[in-house]
Structure 1
Amino acid sequence: MSTANQISKNHWYRNEDLAGVPGPAREIQGYGENPPVVRWENDAKLAINIVINYEEGSELTFAMGDGENDGMHELPFDVEEQRDLAKESMYEYGSRAGIWRMFRTFDRLNVPITVFGAAVALERNPAVARKILERGDELVGHGYRWIDHFKYSREEEKDLIEMAMESFERLGLRPQGWYCREMSVHTRELLVEDGRFLYDSDYYGDDLPYWTFINGKSHMVVPYSLAVNDCRYVIGTGYGSPSDFLDVMKRSVLQLLDDGDDCGRMMSIGLHPRITGNPARTQALAEFIEWAKEQEGVVFSRRIDIAEKFMEQVPRPSTPGDRLNR
């Protein structure tokens, strides 16, 4: 018996995914060497999408009966088995001060944004929902609360999506995109079945949107990023100062404008009011926006604008074989 045949008997040896595993099929090859040559508004080569993750007030807390305190905060320790009032106040900084500092910055610099909004967070601070509508920004569904969807059954997750959408409707918001805190193997299938969503952003594997198929139906994925994301101020190996984040944003723009081919690309910048809403970090964000606006071939776009521009140039495929993946 050959070595390969001997090895293949071991459960850990695989060169392809197993059939019947729940969730979307992996799409490892993607566009490969020949991505589609797309252009954005004003014939720009790079579309920058600023995303505000608005979660404050919907996070896990003892105050809401969750029996735990959430993460992604400024202090490197946790209070257990009781309310963490310090952590709660850090989240409240985002809803009380940070979000408004950021909105003032976007107003002054005339920049459109996308808001990944948790429904409960907007219910508890409806002035933020009104500001999104007033500015003409885009809302992407970020769950009913800021919770991990993979922890729930398929039917429970379906109910959570419906609860969120009903809440958004009451606030006058109608998202066409979705981004969970942590998606489940059922999330994308549920979104396609629902029929109200053009795209989801629960994906980090590309710098361009792409079409996929879920149970025979085409669906767009608009990738997100945790690399150009302010969560790295407070978790993991990340930014020691606003200058670090500024440097990463600038270098990302320069590379994507001159990436060795003529293909246009998108760039996501993920922000949180409780993090970038702090003064020094907002100042660095404003400096970046002013710098990026001076670069030739750059446009700031909402996520829905990127999705629609992409669809104009790479139309919805009717079958999996029609996808432009090469």
Structure 2
Amino acid sequence: MSDRRDFIKQTGLLSMAGIIGVNQLANAETTGKVYASTRSKWADGSRLVVSATMLFEAGGQPDNAPSPFPPNMKPGYKDLPAATWYEYGYKEGIPRMLDNWDKLGIKVTTHMVGSAVLKNPVLAKEIVDRGHEASPRNDLER
């Protein structure tokens, strides 16, 4: 028999995946058995739904924003390694992700930071033109 921690892990993962219902969870606590539902509630028969999102914020960061590189710039100078790291996102990373999404036939929601879109409007348009959803993000706090 599994302990309470194992039960919470198993049922939590299954319920998040939408495989078992709330009633089954309640009964599982008393019976110790969890059964996967055989009926789907999705029109195409899917039993697991995954929501994919992509973040488009590169290019919208302030000068000398934090990066994975050690801070070693003197005040008043631009941190070129960090700037290059951020540029990778909109020059290489997002275009590669778009190609992968197309190959797999997946449409994603793209959370777009306004200042990044203003600096890279062609990329923002390409994301939408490829059929992905644009979700604006408020970046006033940046």
2:22 maps to 34
Farther-moved stretch of structure 1 (124-133 vs 37-46)? 37-46
Q: Tell me, which stretches of 5 or more residues in structure 1 are unaligned?
A: 1-32, 62-68, 148-326
Contact persistence 1:117–1:142 (CA under 8 A): yes
Contact persistence 2:57–2:112 (CA under 8 A): yes
CA-CA distance at 1:145 after TM superposition: 5.4
% identical aligned pairs:
25
**Runs of 4+ in structure 1 over 4 Å off:** none
Q: Could you state the TM-score of these two structures normalised by the residue count of structure 2? A: 0.62
Give the structure with higher Rg (CA).
Answer: 2
1:132 has 2:127 as partner: yes
Q: Tell me, which stretches of 5 or more residues in structure 2 are unaligned?
A: 1-20, 24-36
Q: How many residues align?
A: 105
Greater helix proportion = 2
Superposed, which structure 2 residues align to 1:52-201 within 5 Å?
A: 52-61=54-63, 69-71=64-66, 73-75=67-69, 77-79=70-72, 81-82=75-76, 83-144=78-139, 147=142
Distance 1:107 1:78, change over 3 A: same
Distance 1:98 1:40, change over 3 A: same
CA distance in 1, matches of 2:113, 2:141: 6
**CA shift digits 1:54-105 (9 cap, x unpaired):** 10111121xxxxxxx222x342x12452421110011001111111111111
- Name which structure has the greater RCO, CA cutoff 8 Å, separation 6+: 1
Distance 1:143 1:120, change over 3 A: same
CA distance in 2, matches of 1:115, 1:50: 9
RMSD of equivalent CA atoms: 2.5
Distance 1:39 1:120, change over 3 A: farther
Distance 1:128 1:39, change over 3 A: farther
CA-CA distance at 1:120 after TM superposition: 1.2
**CA shift digits 1:184-242 (9 cap, x unpaired):** xxxxxxxxxxxxxxxxxxxxxxxxxxxxxxxxxxxxxxxxxxxxxxxxxxxxxxxxxxx
CA distance in 2, matches of 1:110, 1:54: 20
Q: Could you state the TM-score of these two structures normalised by the residue count of structure 1? A: 0.29
CA distance in 1, matches of 2:47, 2:141: 34
